[in-house]
């Protein structure tokens, strides 16, 4: 994991020394600068058949698949973050296959996790409507693949004990809790006796989990929500109600959303930033709907306050286009370099992101290079 980040698998009760300002002005110069942490979020990673075929085509030196050429275009943005969080939509199985994709029950190559880690991602949320597509065994193999790649998986669990332990990782000495929940699981029932394996959205449960994480030492709480209606840009009333409850609780600092496969608005609700939907990061849906080839990459920079709390003081986003055949990701460049497809992604992204007035609240949508 980049920048020496330490993953904490169980409860993390961190011993954190807060910087207290000296009493005398002469000593004020010795006060350490406040800690700044930039959290990066992206949209759904969907391994459709065409994406698997592309990874096979890109493979070299005896490898069966290689996802890195598709992903590397966003590497400059991932690298400048302190905590990069992805969303792994599909379960991952065996490195040797067989692999499958929608409309069959998805079973993705675990080599994808290694590619995401290579790119610089530190953690992946795993609670989605597809979490149970390969049953409980798929839940286990997905977490295993993410952890073998050196990342943290959160939102699903292999044991009851694991489900009770907050996923807390340390960034620049600051414990950050990562939590993930889905609206449902495509009608597949939770396995009997293992209902704890996949997190379902419930405001009361999320708030309770956030409080538990803070008692375990977390100073920042980030929640990933798999919610909304596919193809719908405007958040549903249910989405907004859940977000409002989390914001009003004061226990959650940031919400990163996905599932709709189109970009949804960014907003600031009672002091808490939310990206309702990041669209898709990697998918083969753009031929059916150009909006599904658009992705939002967000960066929220938390700054330590005098009282030891953290607040977001910079909120920005980048429009990302998933060019197809061959599939390749890249942030939309400056106006002089942008082609017609890039301009379309930029317009759709801006229209969606700013729909609830994010610009007036301090959010900026940027182009790579200007």
CATH number for the domain spanning 288: value is 3.60.21.10
What is the spatial distance between Cα 100 and Cα 105, in angstroms, rounded to a whole number? 7
pLDDT at 255: 99
Which 3 state secondary structure label does DSSP give 118?
A: helix
Cis peptide upstream of residue 311 (ω within 30 degrees of 0): no
Taking alpha carbons only, the member of 151, 147, 163 closest to residue 199 is 163
Give the Cα-Cα-Cα angle 356, 362, 368 (nearest 5 degrees).
100
Residue 157, Ramachandran bin (φ over 0: left; ψ between -120 and 50: alpha; else beta):
beta
Give the Cα-Cα-Cα angle 25, 28, 29 (nearest 5 degrees).
120
3-state secondary structure 288-344: CCHHHHEEEEEEEEEEECCCCCEEEEEEEEEEEEEECCCCEEEECECCCCCCHHHHH
Q: Region 245-249: what's the mean pLDDT? A: 98
**Res 172 pLDDT > 90:** yes
Question: How many CB atoms sit inside 10 A of residue 135's CB?
Answer: 15
| Structural domain contains residue 17 | no
pTM here? 0.92
Q: What percent of the chain has pLDDT over 70?
A: 92
Q: What is the separation of C-alpha 259 from the centre of its chain, rounded to a whole number of angstroms?
A: 11
Task: Please say whether the beta carbons of 260 and 280 come within 8 A.
Answer: no
Q: What is the separation of C-alpha 270 from the centre of its chain, rounded to a whole number of angstroms?
A: 22
229: Cα within 13 Å, side-chain hemisphere: 8
Task: Please say whether the beta carbons of 279 and 233 come within 8 A.
Answer: no
Question: How many CB atoms sit inside 10 A of residue 58's CB?
Answer: 17
What is the spatial distance between Cα 152 and Cα 140, in angstroms, rounded to a whole number? 13
Q: Which residues lie below 8 Å from residue 171, measured CB to CB, with a gap of 6+?
A: 3, 5, 37, 82, 83
Q: In terms of residue numbers, what domain contains 75?
A: 2-11+35-366
pLDDT at 29: 61
Q: What is the separation of C-alpha 76 from the centre of its chain, rounded to a whole number of angstroms?
A: 17
What is the spatial distance between Cα 306 and Cα 19, in angstroms, rounded to a whole number? 8
Strands 36-45 and 266-269: unpaired
Question: How many CB atoms sit inside 10 A of residue 1's CB?
Answer: 19
pLDDT at 207: 98
What is the spatial distance between Cα 243 and Cα 313, in angstroms, rounded to a whole number? 20
Residue 17, Ramachandran bin (φ over 0: left; ψ between -120 and 50: alpha; else beta):
beta
| Structural domain contains residue 20 | no
Our count of domains for the chain comes to 1
| Structural domain contains residue 24 | no
In this predicted model, what pLDDT tens digit does every residue of 124-164 receive, in sequence order?
999 999 999 999 999 999 999 999 999 999 999 999 999 99
pLDDT at 369: 83
Rounded to the nearest integer, the mean pLDDT of the chain is 92
Q: Region 185-199: what's the mean pLDDT? A: 98
What is the spatial distance between Cα 51 and Cα 5, in angstroms, rounded to a whole number? 30
Q: Region 285-303: what's the mean pLDDT? A: 95
| Structural domain contains residue 19 | no
| Structural domain contains residue 275 | yes
What kind and span of H or E run contains 117? helix 111-119
| Structural domain contains residue 89 | yes
Task: Please say whether the beta carbons of 224 and 246 come within 8 A.
Answer: no
Token pair recorded at residue 132: 């149970």
| Structural domain contains residue 16 | no
| Structural domain contains residue 26 | no
pLDDT at 2: 52
What is the spatial distance between Cα 100 and Cα 127, in angstroms, rounded to a whole number? 19
pLDDT at 10: 39
Q: Region 181-189: what's the mean pLDDT? A: 97
Q: Across the strands, what pairs with 282? A: 45
pLDDT at 24: 43
């Amino acid at each position: 994991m980049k920048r020496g980040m330490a993953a904490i698998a169980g409860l993390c009760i961190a011993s954190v020394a807060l910087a207290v300002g000296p009493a005398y002005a002469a000593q004020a110069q010795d006060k350490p600068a406040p800690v700044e942490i930039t959290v990066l979020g992206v949209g759904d990673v969907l391994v459709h058949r065409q994406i698997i075929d592309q990874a096979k085509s890109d493979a070299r030196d005896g490898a069966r698949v290689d996802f890195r050429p598709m992903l590397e275009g966003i590497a400059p943005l991932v690298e400048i973050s302190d905590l990069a969080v992805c969303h792994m939509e599909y379960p991952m199985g065996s490195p040797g296959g067989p692999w499958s994709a929608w409309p069959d029950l998805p079973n993705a190559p675990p080599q994808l996790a290694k590619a995401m880690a290579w790119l610089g991602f530190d953690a992946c949320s795993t609670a989605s409507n597809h979490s149970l597509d390969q049953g409980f065994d798929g839940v286990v193999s997905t977490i295993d693949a993410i952890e073998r790649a050196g990342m943290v998986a959160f939102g699903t669990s292999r044991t009851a004990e694991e489900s009770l332990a907050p996923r807390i990782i340390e960034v620049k000495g600051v414990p950050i809790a990562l939590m993930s929940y889905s609206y449902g699981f495509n009608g597949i029932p939770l396995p009997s006796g293992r209902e704890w394996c996949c997190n379902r959205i419930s405001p009361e449960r999320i708030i309770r989990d956030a409080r538990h994480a803070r008692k375990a030492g977390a100073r920042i709480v980030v929640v990933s929500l798999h919610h909304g209606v596919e193809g719908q840009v405007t958040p549903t009333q249910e989405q907004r109600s859940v977000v409002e409850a989390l914001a009003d609780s004061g226990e959650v600092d940031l919400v990163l959303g996905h599932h709709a496969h189109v970009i949804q608005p960014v907003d600031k609700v009672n002091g808490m930033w939310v990206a309702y939907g990041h669209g898709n990061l990697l998918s083969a849906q753009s031929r059916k709907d150009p909006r599904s080839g658009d992705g939002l990459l967000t960066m929220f920079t938390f700054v330590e306050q005098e009282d030891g709390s953290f607040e977001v003081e910079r909120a920005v986003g980048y429009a990302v286009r998933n060019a197809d055949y061959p599939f390749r990701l890249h942030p939309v460049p400056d106006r002089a370099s942008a082609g017609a497809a890039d301009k379309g992604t930029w317009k759709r992204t801006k229209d969606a992101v700013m729909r609830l007035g994010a610009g007036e609240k301090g959010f900026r949508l940027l182009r790579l290079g200007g």
